[in-house]
Amino acid sequence: MEKKKNSHSTLVKNSGLGVLIAFSFSFSILNGQQSLETNYRMTGEAITGMFEPQREAIQKFSAVIYDGRDEIVYGVVISEDGYLLTKASEIEGVSGLNVRVDRQSFKKAEVVIVDPRWDVALLKVDAKGLIPADYAASSDLTQGTWVIVNGATSRTKRRIQVGVISANAREIPPSGGAVLGVQLKGDDGKLVIEDVSEGSGAEKAGMEKGDLIINVEGTKVGDIEELMKELEGKKAGTAVKISVKRGDEVLELDVTLSARDELFQQMDRNDMMSGDFSERRSGFPRIIQHDILGNSDTMGGPVLDFDGRVIGMNIARANRAETFAIPVEELKVLADGMLAQVPK
């Protein structure tokens, strides 16, 4: 199946809060002027090549995840026997999952568990003797501290990209709030689903046009206000138990809430200058931020400190200037929790 990409032809959002930057009528001004050779720029080999010990760590415990032969995202190896973590929304619906770690190739990878809150999936490949990520004690690094992540890759060699911690660690609330992804009509004490948005948690849970929502998390709901009250304060990625009536039948559904802005993918001006950013880029309990260039395909891999230890896992290319990573404190808890849930 083809991986979903951001459609750059979606509506331009008129957000009211414009942000200012002028576009590039300056190329002509710059042409023919002094220019630094690519090799010496931040992404160039003369800079990244100086981080060889850190690159070797990336080589050992980062994973490259493919759909058939297409590289789709990176991952972090968390056990010797083939468990690894990646960004869940980037592998959703992919049928030809296969994985490369160091020089080894694994033809089959299985999705074991998904944590929608962090957008992390636990994958399993048939392996022995892998080198698991070496966790750092803390992700609490001063702004301006070097960090190292996956760059381009070849069959045998992982390359890297480098940058610095670029902002305060913090929560990223869901953009536009958390929603079910349905259009509703309140009709005489009944809550009727008029439409189900494509790609929403409601659609995935099997909600249909014409269903009546009767109960949310054990509480009866009869109008939109009552429903909103039950959903209030809930975050994108959380599953909500919802009972719907379809004809004479009552169905119990687990609906995962979506972030409104991501569901409807409205692009503002900043999005349009941000290239291929992550579709799921909000609704994270806590993140650390760095300034390394990337796109939706370069997420999921480890973020290393200068000692080559894991301080986090890349989880969202938010925009042109910001990349988010799950801090190692939370990543360890998540990894251990997921491994503990694996059916024996």
Partner 1 sequence: MCLLPLVGTAFPLNSKKAPETQDDLLSVQEALQKALPQASAATVCIDLGEGTGSGVIISPDGLIMTAAHVSTAVGKKVTVIMPDGKKLKAKTLGLRADADAALVQIEDEGTYPFVEINKGPAAELGDWVFSVGHSGGFDKDRGAVVRLARLVRMANNTIQSDGTLIGGDSGGPLFDMEGRLIGIHSRVGPQLPVNMHVPMKVFIESLEEMKASEFIGEGPFATAPEKGAGFFGVATKGVEGGLEITKVGRSSPAEKGGLKEGDVIQSLNGNKLATREELKSVLAELAPGDELELEIIRDGKEEKFTLNLGKK
Token look-up 């969202």 returns 316
The stretch near partner 1 (CB under 8 A) out of 121-129, 221-229, 246-254, 319-327 is: 319-327
* 164 binding partner 1? (CB under 8 A): yes
Q: How far is the CB of 309 from partner 1 (least distance, A)?
A: 15
Based on its alpha-carbon atoms, the radius of gyration of the chain, rounded to whole angstroms, reads 22
**144 near partner 1, judged by CB under 8 A:** yes
Residue located via tokens 């890759």: 153
The CA–CA distances, whole Å, from 315 to 100, 233, 320 equal 19, 23, 15
User: Is the distance from CB of 109 to CB of 97 less than 8 angstroms?
Assistant: yes
Contact with partner 1 (CB under 8 A): which of 9, 21, 103, 154?
21
Residue with smaller CB distance to partner 1, 130 or 148? 148
Q: What single-letter DSSP state applies at residue 13? A: P
- CA 261 to centroid of chain Cα atoms: 15
* Residue selected from 3, 98, 306, 339 as contacting partner 1 according to rule CB under 8 A: 306
For position 322 contacting partner 1 by CB under 8 A, the verdict is: yes
For residues 331 and 132, give the distance between their C-alpha atoms in angstroms, rounded to a whole number.
13
For residue 35, state whether it binds partner 1 (rule: CB under 8 A).
yes
Structural contact between residues 72 and 301, judged by C-beta atoms closer than 8 angstroms: no
Contact 213, 252 (CB under 8 A): no
Told to check if 14 binds partner 1 by CB under 8 A, we report no
Residue 53 in contact with partner 1, rule: CB under 8 A: yes
Q: Looking only at residues 215 through 274 of this chain, which bind partner 1 when binding is defined by CB under 8 A?
A: 269-270, 273-274
Nearer to partner 1, 23 or 232 (CB): 23
Token pair of 269, please?
A: 């001006």
Among residues 5, 40, 190, 250, the one that binds partner 1 under rule CB under 8 A: 40
- Min dist. Cβ of residue 70 to partner 1 (A): 21
Q: Quick one: which of 112, 113, 127, 167 contacts partner 1 (CB under 8 A)?
A: 167
- 40-48, 83-91, 131-139, 198-206 -> range binding partner 1 (CB under 8 A): 40-48
Binding residues for partner 1, total number by CB under 8 A: 51
Smallest gap from residue 172 Cβ to partner 1 (A)? 9
> Are β-strands 104-106 and 97-101 bridged in parallel, bridged antiparallel, or unpaired?
antiparallel
Among the candidate windows 76-84, 176-184, 246-254, 285-293, which touches partner 1 by CB under 8 A? 285-293
If you write DSSP's letter for every residue of 147-164 in order, what string do you get? Answer: EEEEEEE-SS-EEEEEEE
* Number of Cβ within a 10 Å radius of residue 35: 9
List 190's β-bridge partners, or say none. Answer: 187
- CA-CA distance, 287 to 174, in Å (whole number)? 13
Task: Check residue 27 for interaction with partner 1 (CB under 8 A).
Answer: yes
Residue 330 sits at φ, ψ, to 5 deg, of -70, -35
Residues at the contact surface with partner 1, assessed by CB under 8 A:
17-27, 29-30, 33-36, 40-43, 46-47, 50-51, 53, 142-146, 163-164, 166-168, 170-171, 269-270, 273-275, 289, 291, 293, 306, 319-322
